[in-house]
Amino acid sequence: MDIARKGPGVGALIPRARLTTTAPRQSLNGTWQFRVHPALAVAPDDYWSGTGEWGSIPVPAHWVLEGHGAPAYTNVRFPFPIDPPNPPDENPIGDYRLVFDADPALAGKAAVLRFDGIESAAEVRLNGHVLGETRGSRLTHEFDVTGKLTATGNVLAVRVAQFSDASYLEDQDMWWLPGIFRDVELVAIPEHGLYDVFVVADYDPAAATGSVRLTLTANDGTPGRATLEVPELSLRAEIDGEATLDAGSVEPWSAENPRLYDATLTTPDERVSLRLGFRRVEVRDSVLLINGAPLQFRGVNRHEHDPSRGRAVPLETARAELELMKRHNINAVRTSHYPPHPGLLDLTDELGLYVILECDLETHGFVEVGWRDNPSDDPAWESAYLDRMQRTVHRDKNHASIVFWSLGNEAGHGANLEAMSAWTKAFDPSRLVHYEHDWDSTYVDVYSRMYATHDEVKNIGEEVLSPAPYGATPAELHRRSLPFIQCEYAHAMGNGPGGLEEYQELFDRYPRLAGGFIWEWIEHAIAVVENGQRRLLYGGDFGEQTHDGNFVTDGLVSADREPRPGLTALAHWFAPVRIEVTEDAIRIENRYALVGLDHLRFVWRDADGAEGTLKVPTVGPGETVEVPAPDGNATLTVEAVLAEATAWAGAGHVVARGQFVRLAPAARPRETTVPDRAAFDPISMRLRTLGGLSFEGPVPSLWRAPTDNDRYPGRDEPDLPPYAERWAEAGIDRVRTRLVTAMNETTFLRTLHRTAPPGRDFAVDADLHWRQVRPDVVLVDVTLTPRGPWPTEWARLGLDLVLPGRPTGLDWDGLGPGPAYPDLAAGTYHGRHHADADELFTNYVRPQESGARRGVRSAAIATSAGGLRVTVVEGGAEEIAVTVSPWSRTALATTLHHHDLVADGNTHVSLDLAQSGLGTATCGVGVLPRYRLPARPGRVSLLLEAWTV
């Protein structure tokens, strides 16, 4: 086995489409013999013979997740020296062995042995014959086993190298996970069958008709023959090699209406089933079109990940995942950064998701050495590059959902990429070619960027020349003729991402902007069980020397596919319908490209429980209608719901929501007395008991446990330290509060406090006016005033309290049900909400601030010892936020894993008058200026009512 050469694999058949066929097949998934050696040099040559010690392993799986060695995570850097094409000496070698009887339908027949994914390189032997070697971990390899397969006792042996020359081309930001991790199968090749089929189902939007172009290849490589039937179109034709057929009037396929027509190709020996989706993707005047209408990607980047199984993701899991996407108004997937399991494309065709199908290629680590010796521009690697692209395109070429082919990710630039593009365009002109690192956009059909700031996206939308170093170069002029996408934006790491609304607004405003793909769909935490406890781990947790920590957990859903709050906001901005409710009118905007709103019902309800259905006239794509609002409501909620069940959601599923709310502050109690000072701490004059409940606080507070985004400098301020550092430098993470004075006024008790960081002279003064309403109720008027020149914006402006007992739940009247922050509130709505104890926070893998409920007018915080009801009497309720947590902020800020958080038995409560936004500085812009929180005064009046249990 030679794992240090620059070419593609050897011995595999030329790539072809994955066909759904009646040809006999036999799955070889299951339990295989297995053993691992520390390096190739010490791995015995006769691994196929079965001598020596063997254990067992499931196939498909990654051996490092099955108890042999450990996974390792790096983002850009290679975990070994850059010395292409040589892998490191420390290179685990996995030997796999399977003894099996062949299915009678296959034994002695022409057949192929198919591997859908082996990381990173493998030598394959069957019954002593060397079949060849694979390269391209996420690419299919088929070997001809005709004449080599016997009825019983076949010995299949596969030697897998964790690292190989191919590792230089597979430096994606993800775990290194070796092994046979996708299906292994035997497939018969019937004598008069079809080896390959290429079908292009085109749609002519002007005529509303379709056509089918077919190219058939027989097993011997000559043109293939078959009978095509598309019953629904009454289409039947004998195909000899190639044909283009008029399909007449058809319903087109789109993500909005994924109409598929079943078709068959019949030969004497075999029937191949196809699902035809008629559609056309094209560019006109820099605008990306689907079936003649503007196509806006509302997409996500999807890696294949399962917390226990890595990239061996079962198809049922993938299906559930795509349905979850559809329920959140996602219409597109970029398969970052390799072809997914082949079954995924059947699902995207069926459910309706546009796909950018990306080749298994990334050489990002070469950036660390100034791209010296980057394989992308080295002729010795050209055949490896072409092989990768051809395997990618051939396998999936018959899927309607694929609209772009992507050459790979972050592989610099060079002649090999150009060659991939040239081959792809010649082979399949029905789709566009994408690649983000082609800075001049010379060999791509779309201008693609990642994490461009809002300003830059706006300039691109307005078609102004890019700033230096681009300027009016020929490349720039060419680029301006292309549609633009952000193949990655809004980095969903930790609490966030902020800035979604502002990107969406740009995508909606400028026709040339064809939307983008959030980075990323899923967090790649890996689950392990230690001492009976399940733990989610990230880079560095497996003893890696070189790693990139928790940068691998940056998804809209957790590794267990629980939606993060960012997904709720995203669903709002991606919604195909916008509903704007005012006191007297409801505006409904159809944001679909191609379909009307007949599949939706519009239901309304008010705060008192009255409800009804709106009569909405026909609204074509891109149109807006206005209907009168039902009379006299202080709160009116209008929802667009699915009229009937779809493949991805039940009838009644909420697609979009709009709301009108007139916030009325609670009445201020008239009868009050001056509180007894005995209820206050004599030194600090903080309230320490109410209604029998003792607590600490409230004290002014300006800090939050840094989010991941707070720990990175934003692209808009690359020279400034991240906010977490600015806050630590200013000392707002450790402020002290001193009692200035306490005095009895005629009708209230007044306490004045100064809060300031140690060693600093800037401060916040709190002026609190206390009135007793009942023995268990106080009214406090709060005025907060900053003093001195604050050198940094704050995280929050609020009051902290610590209640006895652990939190048991929260009921509130405000935005919900999920958390909301100034730049991440979309998708939450006003109402009475409840959160159980485990819904008060988000279980980010690395602990950080989370869980704020916003727009709160009243909240009842329950603990195991009692509770506190907070009612906002005056003050901007839109901004008031309540955060309830079993952990102190210091605990959240200093603990590295969620499972290591230790609750102190108290309930930590924050009542915020204002908060900073979240931004997306982990990779992208920080908090937009309008959502920042410079030092500012604040005022609020609160009723506090406490009880014990």
Please give the residue ranges that form the binding site for ligand GAL (CB under 6 A).
75, 173, 337, 409-410, 450, 488, 491, 519, 551, 554, 923
- Of 410, 502, 793, 849, the active-site residue reads 410
State the nearest-atom distance from the C-beta of 922 to ligand GAL, in Å: 7
Is-contact 630 612, C-beta < 8 A? yes
State the nearest-atom distance from the C-beta of 548 to ligand GAL, in Å: 9
- For residue 417, what is the enclosing H or E element? helix 415-427
Partners of 94 in beta bridges: 36, 160
Is-contact 147 128, C-beta < 8 A? no
- Please tell me what DSSP assigns to residue 82: -
Q: Which is nearer to ligand GAL, 346 or 554 (by Cβ)? A: 554
- Please tell me what DSSP assigns to residue 721: P
Q: What is the gyration radius of the CA atoms in the chain, in angstroms?
A: 31
Specify the 3-state DSSP secondary structure of 285. coil
Q: Which is nearer to ligand GAL, 199 or 450 (by Cβ)? A: 450
State the nearest-atom distance from the C-beta of 337 to ligand GAL, in Å: 6
**CB count in 10 Å sphere of residue 864:** 16
- Of 488, 523, 793, 849, the active-site residue reads 488
Q: Which two tokens stand for residue 14?
A: 């030329």
The pairs formed by 664-667 with CB atoms below 8 angstroms and a separation of 24 or more are 664/634, 665/857, 665/872, 665/873, 665/874, 665/875, 665/877, 666/857, 666/858, 666/871, 666/872, 666/873, 666/943, 667/873
C-alpha to C-alpha distance for 861 and 868, rounded to whole angstroms: 5
Is-contact 309 61, C-beta < 8 A? yes
Q: Which is nearer to ligand GAL, 142 or 362 (by Cβ)? A: 362
Secondary structure (DSSP) of 551-568: GG---SB-TT-PBPHHHH
State the nearest-atom distance from the C-beta of 336 to ligand GAL, in Å: 6
Q: Which is nearer to ligand GAL, 123 or 170 (by Cβ)? A: 170
Sign, CA dihedral 893-897-902-904, equals positive
Specify the 3-state DSSP secondary structure of 483. coil
Residue 383, phi then psi, degrees to nearest 5: -65, -30
Closest residue by Cα to residue 762 from 796, 798, 790? 790
Partners of 248 in beta bridges: 210
Is-contact 165 178, C-beta < 8 A? no
State the nearest-atom distance from the C-beta of 100 to ligand GAL, in Å: 38
My answer on whether omega of the bond before 817 falls inside 30° of 0, hence cis, is yes
Q: Which is nearer to ligand GAL, 142 or 554 (by Cβ)? A: 554
488 flagged as catalytic: yes
Is-contact 340 356, C-beta < 8 A? no
State the nearest-atom distance from the C-beta of 174 to ligand GAL, in Å: 8
Q: Which is nearer to ligand GAL, 336 or 751 (by Cβ)? A: 336
Sign, CA dihedral 746-747-749-753, equals negative
State the nearest-atom distance from the C-beta of 923 to ligand GAL, in Å: 5
Is-contact 860 949, C-beta < 8 A? no
Is-contact 195 182, C-beta < 8 A? no
Sign, CA dihedral 464-468-474-476, equals negative
410 flagged as catalytic: yes
Q: Which is nearer to ligand GAL, 76 or 465 (by Cβ)? A: 76
State the nearest-atom distance from the C-beta of 920 to ligand GAL, in Å: 11
State the nearest-atom distance from the C-beta of 354 to ligand GAL, in Å: 19
Q: For tokens 């947590």, name the residue.
A: 885
Amino acid at 844: Y
The CB-nearest residue to ligand GAL is: 173
Is-contact 734 705, C-beta < 8 A? no
Q: Which is nearer to ligand GAL, 75 or 659 (by Cβ)? A: 75
C-alpha to C-alpha distance for 394 and 142, rounded to whole angstroms: 13
Q: Which is nearer to ligand GAL, 552 or 946 (by Cβ)? A: 552
Specify the 3-state DSSP secondary structure of 37. strand
- Please tell me what DSSP assigns to residue 78: -
State the nearest-atom distance from the C-beta of 11 to ligand GAL, in Å: 31
Is-contact 180 372, C-beta < 8 A? no
Q: Which is nearer to ligand GAL, 75 or 694 (by Cβ)? A: 75
Residue 155 CB burial class (10 angstroms; 0-12, 13-18, ≥19)? middle
Q: Which is nearer to ligand GAL, 143 or 519 (by Cβ)? A: 519
C-alpha to C-alpha distance for 650 and 642, rounded to whole angstroms: 7
State the nearest-atom distance from the C-beta of 485 to ligand GAL, in Å: 14
State the nearest-atom distance from the C-beta of 374 to ligand GAL, in Å: 16
Q: Which is nearer to ligand GAL, 181 or 519 (by Cβ)? A: 519
State the nearest-atom distance from the C-beta of 643 to ligand GAL, in Å: 39
C-alpha to C-alpha distance for 163 and 627, rounded to whole angstroms: 63
C-alpha to C-alpha distance for 862 and 869, rounded to whole angstroms: 8
Q: Which is nearer to ligand GAL, 639 or 708 (by Cβ)? A: 708
**CB count in 10 Å sphere of residue 434:** 24
Closest residue by Cα to residue 890 from 728, 760, 726, 686? 728
Amino acid at 573: W
C-alpha to C-alpha distance for 131 and 353, rounded to whole angstroms: 37
Q: Which residues have a catalytic role annotated?
A: 410, 488
